[in-house]
């Protein structure tokens, strides 16, 4: 019963969707990339979309409302973000694989309860909880503390990228970061448990043991929840899709999809 | 999780053959499930069964998906102006939302495109045999079923395949229910059932009598008010005409806010009456009969325009028809009117001509199956009906959960037989249960369910089946 959801449907918002599709349709499932808080679809358009397309996977990235080129939405909730993802996924020509990064992985986990995805990939998942907050406070108190009181969350270069990424590039990316809705940020503190995924899709969890936003223990915990172990890429920062060795994780994801029954 | 019918069109030829009850050759489809009909209910049955790992063969007599909402189908009841009467959140499948850009009450052509997209998105068409009609469904050994098909229109040979289970999703809005009236055969004007009403041009400039106050009857009366030279609307009793919007929001959403808060029926009725008094006002002032029941006691009529056109004189409310004369219609109050066209919006009756009525526990042949949750048949654990409900809301959410429940039941038969047996016991004990307030017992209300009560019952059944 979803009486409350039905009687108070999420208000529509204009969404930015960027895409790269292969020249030849090879029957591969479409991928939908969901950026984390503060990031927009641009974060995937930089490298991953084109790379996935070059390997035959139609690739799309959505900017959650209030992010990137989507409509401003300061009061957005986690539910509204999940709604955005499900709307875009259902609009794709075929059953999609959802790929969420950071808090986008939590949004994907919630979307999976409303849309039977072909599969899901959780990249450096930020599932919230006091542990993650504690770690963030320790590493970047000035950027994190205001968020606790409804202010913006500012992630630093050191949290997001490895030293291998040229400084200029890193600064450009950090400059593009926006902020998530206040209510959605707070939702992270409560660690809202997502309902079980519909259609029992295969789920892959990956990240870096050197991620300074998501501790390795979190990666293991999230992976265990989906009955697997995390795939690790040492030496990378939180933003694996923008970091210097961005090709490794996306290739691992695509390899996994090709092997999974869901890949065909 | 795949089975033999995973890719491409189903091909019963490719499986082993045996002999049926009367020595006909039967091709054995193993664990595959048969779905009859590719309307909304059939499509969601295919999708959910596939999602639970079952192979599916679906037979559809028409050449496309969408059932009632595909206006190209010869049995489609929709007319040019049909819009949904349930708003989007209640109408869409719970795991495949309609686009944000669509209006609250989409047009029938949008609904068809929605079903076509659903079929493509989940790759359902490769499991459907189009242009193929199911003409017989008979129980076979081991709680399996022999399904006999032939191409629509009766060409080609018949062919029988044996299935592990069957979902009947043949719809119940295509076989017109026509009332009998004295003198109807002698009437010289034009007579049609709402199922053959397609376009307001059919009414233009004519004197029209619309019989029946279901949603369809009211819609057609409103069109006649704008197109015909005169329109009478005959209703047997008084109804509540609920506006599609209250407080600037779709009325069903406002109503469900109250349901979600578990406001008791009495209080909801009182609130509803009060809202109607504020918005629509006293219906008898318009010459409409006073409702003889409280709201929520019959299928709701959502029509914001009917009262408006009555108020403009475009629609003349009249009582029941008493008898027909060659050039006139006599009404229950003795008045005579002279329509050129009579539209019977008198509803539909369910038909299952491919199935022996006794399978459904309807040995009297009255046409009303005795089912639990309007879906499960006592004594036949591998048979389910999808979509045989008349909800006070959208139907597709209900078909979705019905077919999820059936898929889980089939899984339980394999993995946890004791659970499946307990389920079978409940079906026997509780067949015929109702899920709505005190409704009238006419065939119009046979399948009436309150969506909240009904979904709670399905949810309970799921929990009982799966409980740890
Ligand atoms: C005018 C009108 C307005 C409506 N408005 C709404 C609304 O707003 N909201 C709502 O939820 N519902 C509405 N309904 C109810 C409508 O019936 C359902 O929405 C829906 O169409 C039911 O879907 P279904 O799949 O159960 O049946 P159908 O759509 O009737 O599909 C049944 C399918 O089975 C096929 N079939 C039948 N027999 C056989 C056979 N022997 N062999 C092979 N194939 C077969 C048919 O060709 C058809 O494609 C409305 C109905 C009407 C008439």
Tens of pLDDT along A200-229?
Answer: 999 999 999 999 889 899 999 999 999 889
pTM for the model stands at 0.92
The three-state secondary structure class of A218 is helix
Is there a common fold for B6-174+349-466 and B184-344? yes
Inform me whether the pLDDT recorded for B85 exceeds 50: yes
Residues of chain A with pLDDT under 50: 263-264
Closest Cα in chain B to A201: B51
pLDDT computed for residue A128 by the predictor:
79
pLDDT-derived band at B4, boundaries 50, 70, 90: very low
CATH superfamily, domain at B184-344: FAD/NAD(P)-binding domain (3.50.50.60)
Output the pLDDT for position B187. 94
The CA distance from B178 to the nearest CA of chain A, in Å, is 36
Residues of B in contact with A86 (CB under 8 A): 97
Per-residue model confidence as pLDDT tens digits over B317-374: 999 999 999 999 999 999 999 999 999 999 888 889 999 988 988 767 677 788 999 9
Range of weakest confidence among A115-129, B176-190, B264-278, B379-393: B264-278
User: Does ligand 1 come within 6 angstroms of the Cβ of B231?
Assistant: no
Nearest CA among B344, B345, B326, B346 for reference residue B336: B326
What pLDDT is attached to residue B414?
95
What is the ipTM for the molecules in this complex? 0.91
Q: Which of A14-28, B270-284, B451-465 is the least confident region?
A: B270-284
Cα A96 to Cα A256: distance, rounded to the nearest angstrom:
15
The minimum-distance atom of ligand 1 relative to the CA of B388 is 26
Contact residues, A window 116-145, toward B, CB-based 8 Å cutoff: 116
Alpha helices in B122-264 (DSSP H): 215-227, 251-260
Q: How many residues are recorded in chain A?
A: 264
pLDDT of residue A53: 97
Give the residue-averaged pLDDT of B413-427: 96
CATH superfamily of B6-174+349-466: FAD/NAD(P)-binding domain (3.50.50.60)
Which of B218, B146, B110 lies closest to B382, judged by CA? B146
Give the pLDDT score at A1: 63
Is B407 within 8 Å of B48 (Cβ atoms)?
Answer: yes
Looking at CA atoms only, how far is residue A261 from chain B in angstroms? 9
Percent of chain B with pLDDT over 70: 91
Could A7 and B101 be called an inter-chain contact, meaning their C-beta atoms sit closer than 8 Å? no
> Residue B19 has what pLDDT?
67
Which segment of A207-216, B167-176, B446-455 scores lowest on mean pLDDT? Answer: B446-455
A250: nearest Cα among A128, A262, A236, A227: A236
**Any residues with CB less than 8 A from the CB of A218 and at least 6 apart, and which?**
A125, A126, A127, A131, A132
* Whole-angstrom distance, CA of residue A197 vs CA of residue A202: 10
Give the per-residue pLDDT at A132. Answer: 73
> In terms of Cα–Cα distance, which of B75, B104, B166 is closest to B394?
B104
Residue among B454, B426, B402, B458 nearest B167 (CA):
B402
Report the residue of B260, B397, B458 to disrupt the A interface, i.e. the one with the largest count of A CBs within 10 Å: B260
- Distance to chain B for A20, nearest Cα, Å: 19
Please provide the DSSP assignment of B303-344 as one string.
-SSHHHHHHTTSSEEE--EEEEETTEEEETTS-EE--SEEEE
**Least reliable range by pLDDT among A45-54, A192-201, B196-205, B280-289:** B280-289
User: Which pLDDT band, with edges at 50, 70 and 90, does B278 fall under?
Assistant: confident
* Domain assignments of chain B as residue spans, ordered by start: 6-174+349-466, 184-344
Backbone angles phi, psi at A121, to 5 degrees: -125, 125
Q: Report the length, in residues, of chain B.
A: 468
The pLDDT assigned to B259 comes to 78
How confident is the model at residue B468, as a pLDDT? 63
pLDDT band at B2 (very low <50, low <70, confident <90, very high): very low
Residue B291's pLDDT is what?
80
Tell me, what's the pLDDT at A156? 83
DSSP bridge partners of B342? B191, B209
pLDDT score, position B243:
83
pLDDT at B447 over 80: yes
Choose from B46, B53, B97, B115 for mutation: most chain A CBs within 10 A.
Answer: B97
Which chain B residues are Cβ-neighbours of A198 within 8 angstroms? 51, 95
């Amino acid at each position: 019963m979803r009486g409350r959801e039905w009687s108070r449907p999420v208000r529509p918002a204009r969404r930015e969707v960027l895409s790269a599709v292969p020249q030849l349709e090879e029957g591969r499932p479409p991928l939908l990339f969901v950026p984390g808080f503060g990031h927009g679809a641009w974060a995937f358009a930089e490298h991953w979309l084109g790379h996935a397309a070059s390997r035959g996977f139609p690739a799309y990235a959505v900017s959650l409302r209030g992010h990137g080129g989507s409509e401003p939405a300061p009061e957005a909730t986690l539910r509204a973000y999940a709604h955005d993802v499900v709307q875009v996924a259902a609009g794709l020509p075929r059953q999609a694989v959802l790929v969420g990064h950071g808090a986008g992985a939590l949004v994907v986990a919630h979307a999976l309860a409303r849309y039977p995805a072909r599969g899901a990939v959780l990249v450096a998942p930020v599932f919230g909880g006091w542990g993650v907050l504690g770690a963030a406070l320790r590493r970047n108190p000035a950027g994190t503390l205001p968020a606790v009181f409804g202010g913006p969350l500012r992630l630093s270069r050191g949290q997001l990228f490895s030293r291998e990424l040229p400084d200029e590039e890193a600064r450009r990316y950090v400059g593009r970061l926006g902020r998530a809705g206040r209510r959605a940020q707070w939702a992270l503190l409560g660690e809202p448990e997502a309902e079980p995924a519909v259609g029992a899709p295969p789920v892959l969890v990956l990240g870096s043991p050197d991620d300074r936003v998501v501790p390795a223990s979190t990666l293991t915990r999230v992976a265990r929840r989906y009955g697997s172990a995390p795939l690790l890429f040492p030496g990378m920062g939180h933003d694996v899709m923008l970091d210097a060795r961005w090709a490794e994780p996306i290739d691992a994801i695509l390899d996994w999809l090709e092997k999974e029954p869901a890949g065909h | 999780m795949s089975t033999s019918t995973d890719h491409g069109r189903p091909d019963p030829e490719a499986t082993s053959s045996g002999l049926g009850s009367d020595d006909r050759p039967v091709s054995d489809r193993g664990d595959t499930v048969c779905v009859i009909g590719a309307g909304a209910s059939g499509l969601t049955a295919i999708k959910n069964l596939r999602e639970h790992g079952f192979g599916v063969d679906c037979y559809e007599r028409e050449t496309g998906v969408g059932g009632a909402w595909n206006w190209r189908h010869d049995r489609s009841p929709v007319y040019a102006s049909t819009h949904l009467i349930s708003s989007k959140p209640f109408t869409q499948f719970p795991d495949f939302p309609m686009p944000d850009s669509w209006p609250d009450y989409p047009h029938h052509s949008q609904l068809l495109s929605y079903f076509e997209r659903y079929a493509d998105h989940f790759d359902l068409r490769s499991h459907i045999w189009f242009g193929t009609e199911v003409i017989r469904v008979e129980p076979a050994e081991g709680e399996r079923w022999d399904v006999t098909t032939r191409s629509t229109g009766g060409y080609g040979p018949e062919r029988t395949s044996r299935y592990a289970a069957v979902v009947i999703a043949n719809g119940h809005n295509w076989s017109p229910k026509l009332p009998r009236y004295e003198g109807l055969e002698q009437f010289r004007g034009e007579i049609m059932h709402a199922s053959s009403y397609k376009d307001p041009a059919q009414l233009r400039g004519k004197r029209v009598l619309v019989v029946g106050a279901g949603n369809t009857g009211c819609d057609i009366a409103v069109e006649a008010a704008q197109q015909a030279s005169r329109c009478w609307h005959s209703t047997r009793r008084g109804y509540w005409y609920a506006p599609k919007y209250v407080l600037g929001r779709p009325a069903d959403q406002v109503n469900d806010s109250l349901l979600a808060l578990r406001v008791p029926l009495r209080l909801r009725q009182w609130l509803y009456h009060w809202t109607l008094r504020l918005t629509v006002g006293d219906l008898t002032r318009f010459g409409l009969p006073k409702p003889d029941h409280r709201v929520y006691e019959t299928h709701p009529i959502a029509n914001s325009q009917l009262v408006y056109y009555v108020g403009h004189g475009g629609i003349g409310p009249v009582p029941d028809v008493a008898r027909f004369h060659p050039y006139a219609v006599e009404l229950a109050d003795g008045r005579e009117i002279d329509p050129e066209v009579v539209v019977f919006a008198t509803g539909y009756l369910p038909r299952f001509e491919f199935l022996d009525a006794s399978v459904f526990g309807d040995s009297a042949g009255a046409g009303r199956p005795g089912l639990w949750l309007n879906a499960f048949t006592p004594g036949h654990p591998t048979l389910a009906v999808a979509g045989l409900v008349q909800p006070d809301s959208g139907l597709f959410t209900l078909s979705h959960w019905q077919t999820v429940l059936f898929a889980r039941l089939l899984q339980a038969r394999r993995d946890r037989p004791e659970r499946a047996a307990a389920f079978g016991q409940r079906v026997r004990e509780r067949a015929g249960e109702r899920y709505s307030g005190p409704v009238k017992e006419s065939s119009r209300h046979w399948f009436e369910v309150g969506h909240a009560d009904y979904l709670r019952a399905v949810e309970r059944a799921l929990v009982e089946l799966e409980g740890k």
